[in-house]
Amino acid sequence: MGGGISKTQWRRIKRLLHGRGRAESGRLLVEGGRAVQAALQRKIPPEQILVGPDATDFALDVLESAKALGVPVADLSSEQISELSATAHPQELIALVAWLPQPELPDTMPPLSLHLSGIRNPANLGALLRTAAAFDVAVTCSPDCVDPTQPVAVRSGTASYFELTIVTNVLLKTLQEMAPEHDIISVAAHGGEDLSGFVWRDRTILVLGGEAEGATEPLHARTTVTIPSRVESLNVAVAGGILLWDVRQKGTLTSS
């Protein structure tokens, strides 16, 4: 399907399994056919596609799309694919993609943004970023959030958030000082305003924390909302999807 890779190339690729390697190179690995397919739809295509010996028919179709775009393809052994994989059952398709979150906040905050405070589960982070991309909502992440370039986060987000405004290492306090006209909306499993009747303000920063401990930063929210539910609490990624859909469904805010 393609040529092999040199020992030097292999060492460079393996460095992307670590946060420091990704940060220094400005590149990351995208694993799985669907995620690689999404990466091929970016304005900037992947730099290289890596394929294992047991690629599925779907993976082969994705490879044809990559070749049509002029993306180089390299063959890996089963052992190499397993070494790069973030899953128990390795995918046979991995893309090398140039992407990092933005280094600093924009000059002005959009009417709606999502601030993730202390999200430490990479699967939850990826799912939240995928939802934010679906609704075109800018995202900031606190310093104690998991790295959005982490392979599990990228896989959970199906590489869908690379065109989204994402800024990491942002304190909620900084956002409050930068955008004092924005309402800070937090979420609680119980005791907040019922979401079904909630009216979103013109300018809002929605803050989500982990399901167990909530936001990890001091939170002086003007409003707390609760999603009506028959269970004790919802997974944060599920809650984030419901809340962002509610904003869009009610039509009270835009993201630009």
Domain-wise residue ranges, the chain: 7-98, 112-250
Domain 112-250 architecture: 3-Layer(aba) Sandwich (3.40)
**The pLDDT of residue 254:** 44
Q: For the whole model, what pTM was predicted?
A: 0.89
Fold: same for 7-98 and 112-250: no
Using alpha carbons, select from 209, 240, 238, 99 the residue that is nearest to residue 144: 209
Mean pLDDT of 140-158: 94
Using alpha carbons, select from 32, 33, 63, 26 the residue that is nearest to residue 48: 63
Q: Which residues partner with 29 through β-bridges?
A: 96
Domain 7-98 architecture: 2-Layer Sandwich (3.30)
pLDDT digits (tens, 9 = 90+) for 210-245: 766 778 888 776 789 999 988 777 899 999 999 999
* pLDDT above 90: percentage of residues in the chain: 68
CA separation (Å) from 72 to 15, 29, 35, 159?
A: 20, 15, 17, 19
